[in-house]
Structure 1
Amino acid sequence: MYATELPVRPFRFGVNMVGHSTGEEWRARCRRAEELGYDRILVADHLGMPAPFPALVAAAAVTSRPRLGTFVLNAGFWNPALLAREVATTQALTDGRLELGIGTGYVREEHEAAGIDFLPPGERVALLERTVEELDRHLDGQAPPLLIGGNGDRLLRLAARRAEVAAFTGGRTESGRVRVLTAEELDARVAAYTRFEREAGREAPAERNLLVQRVVLTEDRAAAVAEFLPHVPYLTEKQALELPLLLVGTVREIADRLRAQRARYGFSYVTVLQDSMEAFGEVVAELRKD
């Protein structure tokens, strides 16, 4: 029976690595992520960025505690049988530390540059569904923990049925551009997801993840958010300060925000981007005191 109350999960923290570097710079960055207390070292799946699977194998060689994950694979880039080979090999070479994150992909230009059809949204979700099913078949039930990321109803239904981690992006694509979700809009997406989990008959809720786009340590929240407002002209300053994907304030203020968001949305697994790794590391240390 699906739990009516969400369990209060302990926090987990991930850092999504998105930049090129030399081998030594990459290894040093991964070691630093472990020193800062991150639980996940993650790699995106975009053209112009490091290839995810070899990068994760290299990360595993210089770390011992964090799990390693894709965040997230673009399903359209991958043949399921060949993806299964990559997953099985990476799972073996990382000593079972792989977490497989996958989504539909949303950047038309990358698909076009790779010579891959950029399908309409519904067809991209259908492709993701087939990929998940085929991975299960090829891996014979030995797949690593699965994270599915996105916000649309059909994708959230898939996550509710199949994922150990449901990842919310805090934005949606409109006319090829990403529009951030307000705190109230994210309430609606999380409520829909909760309903889909109940409908799926899960015995227990999935872990919930949020990708944070920016972390700014400051004592002047208004001044810091002013730099962000030109990118979101449809939001007021108050709405921008309340955005779940924007963490602005002192270490203690941000820690309190994350505790409040865990209570409100169930987000216990928080991912930040590489350029926020050091700043957010101070918040990680604060929350480890709980």
Structure 2
Amino acid sequence: MLTPGTGPEWRARCRRAEELGYDLILVADHLGMPAPFPSLVAAAAATTRPRLGTFVLNTGFWNPALLAREVATTAALTDGRLELGLGTGYVRAEHERAGIPFLPPGERVGHLARTVEELAGTLKGEEGGPRTPLLIGGNGERVLRLAARHADVTAFSGGRFTGEGVTVLTAEELAGRVESYRGFEREAGRTTPAELNLLVQRVIVTEDRPAAAAEFLPLAPYLDEELILDLPILLIGTVPEIADRVKALRERFGFSYLTVLDRAMEAFGPVIARLRGSAPS
């Protein structure tokens, strides 16, 4: 959920997400978007089934001790439905607006690691609260190594952030990132692998896949139509085609947890129904 709204609007959208069959309601951590923790408490009051998560917190905005208080309180007020998602943060302009230093990449990862360590007891529920699953998002090796040691869910964005902006990862490049991550899990000696998440940027229900792909060519001139249609972060086609694509993402990459943006909430609903066997062929 990225779009602010009034209390009634927010509650109605959360109830609609539950009606469509979504398993989680997630809130980002960007200036100009809904504040994460009060939004999740409101979502919990409006729904009964979905888990509620941050996707993902910019740890550069947060003092670990104060964040631990937010997490413990929100986990309690949502009856243990909270999932905590953390990332390094990547938008310099937001730090400048907030008057918070935008640290170099290595220092941002270091702060993320310290935050994970300091929240360990809170996430385990050692002070009497519920256990809170941890999601860590990122594509860089240091973040993936951290996720391999600590995360219940490891989230991939499908993009590469540089000083010049964002470039998308091709399917082959993303497969390489996932393969590297699985190697880090083996190095960490994990017996139970993390669940893998992918952030889907667009869901386009259409019978003309090439025409839809052509719209993205100016945005990614380094890709051709075939590579665009193969991008894991784009789900383009009819509802049956997209459902098959979701299954293929799980088989090819191991993604069993997909996040779609709120503008795609209605479009993806019939895909959920089809995957669960409640939609007509």
In which range does the TM-score fall when normalised by the shorter chain? over 0.9
* SS in structure 2 at match of 1:230: coil
Pick from 12, 18, 21 the counterpart of residue 2 of structure 2: 18
User: What is the TM-score when the length of structure 1 is the normalising length?
Assistant: 0.93
Pick from 19, 22, 25 the counterpart of residue 35 of structure 1: 19
Aligned to 1:115: 99
In the TM superposition, what are the counterparts of 1:40-55 in structure 2 within 5 Å? 40-55=24-39
1:142-191 CA deviation, whole Å, 9 max, x = no partner?
15100000000010000000000000000011224111100000011000
Aligned to 1:12: none
Give structure 1 stretches of 5+ with no counterpart: 1-16
* SS in structure 1 at match of 2:116: helix
The 8 Å contact of residues 123 and 133 in structure 2, kept in 1 or not, is answered as no
Please report how far the alpha carbon of residue 141 of structure 1 lies from its aligned counterpart in structure 2 after TM superposition.
Answer: 3.1
Pick from 105, 117, 124 the counterpart of residue 141 of structure 1: 124
Give structure 2 stretches of 5+ with no counterpart: 126-130
Cα distance in 2, alignment partners of residues 268 and 186 from structure 1: 15
Pick from 56, 66, 78 the counterpart of residue 72 of structure 1: 56
User: What is the TM-score when the length of structure 2 is the normalising length?
Assistant: 0.95
Aligned to 2:141: 153
Aligned to 1:222: 210
* SS in structure 2 at match of 1:208: strand
| AA partner of residue 148 (structure 1) | I
Cα distance in 2, alignment partners of residues 140 and 33 from structure 1: 26
Please report how far the alpha carbon of residue 225 of structure 1 lies from its aligned counterpart in structure 2 after TM superposition.
Answer: 1.3
Instruction: Please state if 1:132 is matched with 2:116.
Output: yes
Considering Cα pairs closer than 8 Å and 6+ residues apart, tell me whether 1 or 2 has the greater RCO: 1
In the TM superposition, what are the counterparts of 1:198-217 in structure 2 within 5 Å? 198-217=186-205
* SS in structure 1 at match of 2:124: coil
Cα distance in 2, alignment partners of residues 236 and 283 from structure 1: 26
Please report how far the alpha carbon of residue 229 of structure 1 lies from its aligned counterpart in structure 2 after TM superposition.
Answer: 1.6
CA RMSD of aligned residues (A): 1.0
* SS in structure 2 at match of 1:167: strand
